């Protein structure tokens, strides 16, 4: 098996050259800290891209971790499969290809309950994802959502450019939902593009 550090570097280079969004350097440290604190056993990832965050989670979780991950782009699934096959974690990762909104209520549900969920897919769908993920959570699950501050517009008073208006509105709705839903506590880390860490308190 390959050296994971070298594999990560290769993936970072591929992402930069091909404009694939992976968790950025500023956000990565905070992201890994949350994973390492939780040391999850059953992980659900919504939005795999090329499998970079998938493998980072695998490398920083419990030794018996199992990850169910989903991605809409078939091309990215293909790239991710080739990277994951070269890693130490290929037998721990189940890849689902297709629309997350549909997969959450069908295929992904078979692997529940999850003690860790990472959301990094269509920003406008975060509210829908949260509602569909809720029944699949373990009692002390952590939900980590990326890009929740979206270039600073989400918490800003200034109006976002028209093309981002809907995304910003939906992300504001998501943050309101996770901060006001009983049984959850949420902290927002302003690292990178904003990470919302929502902890279930049962």
What is the per-residue pLDDT for 25?
79
- Count Cβ atoms below 10 Å from residue 134 Cβ, excluding itself: 15
Q: Which residues contact 195 (CB under 8 A, 6 or more apart)?
A: 27, 30, 31, 34, 144, 145, 146, 148, 188, 189
Q: Whole domain around residue 94: which residue ranges?
A: 4-200
What is the per-residue pLDDT for 2?
66
What is the per-residue pLDDT for 81?
97
Which residues of the chain are modeled with pLDDT < 70? Answer: 1-2
The CATH number given to whatever domain includes residue 33 is 3.40.50.150
Question: Do 116 and 144 contact (CB within 8 A), yes or no?
Answer: yes
Number of domains in the chain: 1
Query: How do residues 139-162 score in pLDDT, each as one tens digit?
Result: 999 999 999 999 999 988 888 999
């Amino acid at each position: 098996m390959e050296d994971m550090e070298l594999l990560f570097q290769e993936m970072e280079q591929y992402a930069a050259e091909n404009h694939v969004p992976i968790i950025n350097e500023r956000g990565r440290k905070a992201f890994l800290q949350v994973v390492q604190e939780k040391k999850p056993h059953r992980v659900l990832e919504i939005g795999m891209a090329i499998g970079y965050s998938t493998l980072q989670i695998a490398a920083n979780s419990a030794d018996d971790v199992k990850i169910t991950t989903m991605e809409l782009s078939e091309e990215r699934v293909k790239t991710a499969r080739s990277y994951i096959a070269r890693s130490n974690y290929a037998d721990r990762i189940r890849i689902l290809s297709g629309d997350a909104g549909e997969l959450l209520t069908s295929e992904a549900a078979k692997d529940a309950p999850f003690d860790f969920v990472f959301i990094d897919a269509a920003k406008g769908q975060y509210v829908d994802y949260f509602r569909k993920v809720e029944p699949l959570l373990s009692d002390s699950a952590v939900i980590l959502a990326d890009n929740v501050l979206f270039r600073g517009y989400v918490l800003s008073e200034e109006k976002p450019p028209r093309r981002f208006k809907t995304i910003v509105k939906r992300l504001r709705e998501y943050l309101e939902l996770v901060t006001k839903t009983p049984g959850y506590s949420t902290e927002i880390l302003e690292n990178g593009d904003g990470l919302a860490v929502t902890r279930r308190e049962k």
